[in-house]
Amino acid sequence: MIELNYLKVGLTIFISIFLSLLSYHFFEKYLLVTKQEKVTPVIYQQPNDFSKTALQIQKQSLEQIKQIRELNKEERNRINSIRRTNDETCQYWRSQYQKNYNDYNRSQMQSACSRAAND
């Protein structure tokens, strides 16, 4: 009859169970890592898309602000030019009226100076 060495059998069963649990643990760890690698780009891709969109919106708003400032500058230049012209016209008709006191020069002076005063 065959004699069994129970110590060897027990040690073999223990090692086999230990190796199977160890391999199962590493297999689970591998699955978690691969799932995280697949999920990670999606998670990090969304903020990148959001930040790209935010940057585009910010660029557009900066361009709009720049255009508005340019338009305001042009409008201020136009208004200043009109004021300067009205002041020069008023000064011209004042000098003409001082040279020659007549009704035409006086009415032109009053008209030009009222336009200059209203600006």
Measure the CA angle with vertex 46, ends 43 and 50; round to 5°: 150
Whether 15 is in a domain gets the answer no
Least confident of 16-20, 39-43, 79-83, 106-110: 39-43
Whether 28 is in a domain gets the answer no
Could you report the per-residue pLDDT of 62-106, keeping only the tens digit for each?
999 999 999 999 999 999 999 999 999 999 999 999 998 899 989
Whether 97 is in a domain gets the answer yes
> Per the structure, how many domains does the chain have?
1
**Amino acid 52: pLDDT:** 81
pTM above 0.75, yes or no: no
42: which DSSP letter?
Answer: H
Domain of 84?
Answer: 54-119
Whether 30 is in a domain gets the answer no
Rounded to a whole number of angstroms, the distance between the first and last alpha carbons of the chain is: 126
pLDDT at 28 over 70: yes
Could you give the percent of the chain with pLDDT greater than 70? 87
68: which DSSP letter?
Answer: H
Whether 61 is in a domain gets the answer yes
